Amino acid sequence: MKWYVDNLLIGTLDAGANGSFSANGKPAFSYSDPTSNASDNPPLSFVLIDNLQVVPEPSTAALCVIGVAALMVRRRQTAG
């Protein structure tokens, strides 16, 4: 899995030799403050994530197209 921001690669997740990592299709974001101090204005302490786009891998998209085509064929067979 690779993460891009403005077409710039910012991160990669490699399954490695055993090929196992959890990728259940749900993006998760977290925030951590590297400093231990608290903000003087807590209502203004937040993170804004904008323009998030989750793009399925090509094989997933192809399987979806095949599934929809199979459903259409089945519907035509049962209707006729």
Question: pLDDT tens across 4-37, in order?
Answer: 888 888 877 776 666 666 656 666 676 766 665 6
Write down the pTM of the prediction.
Answer: 0.31
Query: Which of 4, 9, 69 is CA-nearest to residue 77?
Result: 69
Question: pLDDT tens across 52-68, in order?
Answer: 777 767 787 788 889 99
What is the DSSP track for 26-47?
A: --------SS-PPPS-GGG---
